[in-house]
Chain A
């Protein structure tokens, strides 16, 4: 790989780093923030499972992003990823919660507009609808899971210390599942735009395991996510937690599980094939926002408890972030592509 290619890929790696720094908090934030799990344990588990999820199951959601806008030049992909990363950075600076999924979708639509390429309305509608469905689904799953868990715990009459020990173990398992789902679903945000212009070639290991160029890209992106988790997520994890609603450790586990299930549902090709086999409607394989899933799950629990403890001002700023993120990313991408094409003479 030449230096120019690596330079173009760097924006994707930057986006991966910021995803790792921010979204790992959705998976392990409450557990680390409440000191149920040590940061080093959380970061190690998160990094390993993000990489596994990205390489093993990242292709489904990436295909959908590819249909939204097949960015066929590495310069265009560079600017799409860079504008998404910059939007994430700017929105975080402004104190608004941010979703890398929405940022990259906004950037791709910005690329389509710049290149006068039609945005596939069906794909765009599918993606936009998941932004509504994802938090609602996460809320519904969280409510059911929370009711089942508390029903079980009340009947089991475990000692407080034993509930604590079981919750810790459950948080580690849920976190591993969450990190796998995050890698599977969100690697498309980080490396999806580079797939059509991937500088890698397919190869086979020991004549059996094939390793596609997309998987190599995903591995690279996942490593960037892991670096983000290791280097910068501790601060975010420690500030996550009582933002919208103070959560008990059991509720924190429910939130992580609901988030992970939702991300898994929107990324699993196996589940899609299973549903097709049963002639049932399938769930679209779309990169969904990990932050939206968490917000939905927390709100679900908060509303179930009567809604009194919910800090609606925080919820309002979260919703504002959902509207502004794709807009900001789209505009930044459009302007950035103009400069890349007209000032630096790069094909976009």
Chain B
């Protein structure tokens, strides 16, 4: 009886650790699914396979929202990590907003069906690659924040690198769009998609900046 409470605390802790890991897995999988979905869209347009990827990201987003709410509720009702729970809450909400950007961008492709010229496909895919890599790096940095705070910096510099690369690609892409002979409405439409994808890398960098502060605060 005397040991049942500590054991149940440890069991609950393990469950919560698993939920945080699943949250990170979902964000990482959304990034991979997004990359794949844009590739499919470029090749086939709004195909059944694209719709399947969109559904996958929607499901991941919905499950991740539930996980985030559950984790936050448990952190506060069980008064866990009182020193860091505000930071953890901020981190999870910011990471969740990155996932929302993936979902928003894919819905954009689905609803607005942008007519992307074939010669720009490579640049769009390169932009998606950089944005996705920035997200992968921020997921690794966030995992390290929970398990090995010393290693956060090893991933953080990559977030900054990929964000800068994404900026370069997006600037180049926008120039190419506006240097072309397309009509202005189509140019603006294509630019909107460039900014939507680039925004994912920017948001990852913002999360990285916050994570850097949380990491300084999390020293023993």
A residues apposed to B, CB below 8 Å: 34-36, 146, 149-150, 153-154, 157-162, 164-165, 168-169, 248-251
A250 and B218 CA atoms in complex are apart in Å by 11
Name 26 A/B residue pairs within 8 A (Cβ), A-sorted. Answer: A34-B82, A34-B83, A36-B79, A36-B82, A153-B220, A154-B150, A157-B148, A159-B147, A160-B81, A160-B84, A160-B88, A160-B145, A161-B13, A161-B20, A161-B80, A161-B146, A162-B14, A162-B17, A164-B80, A165-B10, A169-B9, A248-B83, A248-B219, A248-B220, A250-B220, A251-B220
> In the complex the two chains form, is A164's CB within 8 Å of B220's CB?
no
The docked-state distance in angstroms from the alpha carbon of A307 to that of B21 is 37
Bound Cα distance from A36 to B20, whole angstroms = 21
* Contacting residues, chain A, for B9 (C-beta < 8 A): 165, 168-169
17 A-B pairs besides A162-B10, A169-B9 with CB distance below 8 A are A35-B79, A35-B82, A36-B79, A154-B150, A159-B13, A159-B147, A160-B88, A160-B145, A161-B13, A162-B13, A162-B14, A162-B17, A164-B80, A165-B9, A165-B13, A249-B83, A251-B220
B16: Cβ under 8 A from any A Cβ: yes
Let me know if B117 is at the binding interface, CB within 8 A.
Answer: no
Interface membership of chain B positions 133-159, coded 1 if the CB is closer than 8 angstroms to chain A and 0 otherwise: 000000000000111101000000000
Per the bound structure, the CA–CA distance linking A250 and B84 in Å amounts to: 13
Query: In the complex, which residues of chain B have a beta carbon less than 8 angstroms from the beta carbon of A154?
Result: 150, 220
Contacts of A169 in B (CB 8 A): 6, 9
Report the number of A-B residue pairs with Cβ-Cβ less than 8 Å: 54
Contact check, A150 vs B220: say whether CB atoms are below 8 A apart.
yes
Residues of A within 8 A of B147 (CB): 157-160
| Neighbouring A residues of B218 by C-beta, 8 Å | 160
**A150-B220, A248-B220, A251-B220 known; A161 and B148 CB under 8 Å?**
no
Contacts of B186-220 to chain A: CB distance below 8 A = 218-220
Chain B residues whose C-beta falls within 8 Å of the C-beta of A248 in the assembled complex: 83, 219-220
Residue of B nearest to A159 (CB): B17
A164 touches B13 (CB 8 A): yes
In the bound complex, CA of A164 to CA of B79 (Å): 10
List of B residues within 8 angstroms of A158 by Cβ? 147
Q: How would residues 156 to 184 of chain B score, 1 for a CB under 8 Å from any chain A CB and 0 otherwise?
A: 00000000000000000000000000000
Give the size category of B's interface with A. 20 to 34
CA distance A251 to B220 in the complex (A): 7
A164 partner residues in chain B, CB cutoff 8 A = 13, 80-81
Q: In the complex, A160→B14 CA distance in Å?
A: 11
* Min CB–CB distance A297 → chain B (angstroms): 15
Q: A-B pairs with the 5 shortest C-beta distances? A: A150-B220, A165-B13, A164-B81, A35-B82, A157-B148
Q: Are A160 and B146 in contact (CB under 8 A)?
A: yes
Cα–Cα, bound, A164→B10 (Å): 10
CA distance A35 to B82 in the complex (A): 7
Give min CB distance, B92 to chain A, whole Å.
13
- Please give, as numbers and ranges, the residues of chain B lying within 8 Å of A160 by CB-CB distance: 81, 84, 88, 145-147, 218
- Bound complex: CA A168 to CA B79 (Å): 11
How far is it, in angstroms, between the C-alpha of A249 and the C-alpha of B146 when the chains are bound? 16
Bound state CA distance, A35 and B79, in angstroms?
7
Contact yes or no, B79 A161, CB < 8 A: no
Q: Which residues of B contact A149 (CB under 8 A)?
A: 220
Set of chain B residues within 8 Å of A153, measured between Cβ atoms: 220
CB B98 to nearest CB in A, in angstroms, measures 21
Q: Which residue of A lies closest to B218 (CB)?
A: A160
**In the complex, what distance in Å separates the CA atom of A160 from the CA atom of B13?**
10
Say how far A242's CB is from chain B's closest CB, in angstroms. Answer: 11
* CB closest residue in chain A, given B9: A165
Q: Return chain B residues, CB-CB under 8 Å to A168.
A: 9
Cα-based distance from A169 to B17 in the complex (angstroms): 18
Q: B59-86 vs A: 1/0 string, CB under 8 Å?
A: 0000000000000000000011111100
> Could you tell me the distance between the alpha carbons of A161 and B88 in the complex, rounded to whole angstroms?
11
Identify which of A157, A161, A251 contacts B81 (C-beta below 8 A).
Answer: A161
Give Cα distance in the complex from A150 to B13, angstroms: 21
Taking CB atoms, residues of chain B closer than 8 Å to A35 are 79, 82
Closest to A254 in B: B220
A127 to B150, CA, bound (A): 45
Interface residues of B in 77-110 (CB under 8 A from A): 79-84, 88
Distance in angstroms between the alpha carbons of A112 and B79 in the assembled complex: 52
Assuming the contacts A35-B79, A36-B82, A249-B83, asked whether A161 and B17 have C-beta atoms less than 8 A apart, the reply is: yes
Taking the closest CB of chain B, its distance from the CB of A309, in whole angstroms, is: 11
Give Cα A331 to B87, complex, Å.
52
- A193 CB to nearest chain B CB (Å): 38
Residues of B within 8 A of A161 (CB): 13, 16-17, 20, 80-81, 146
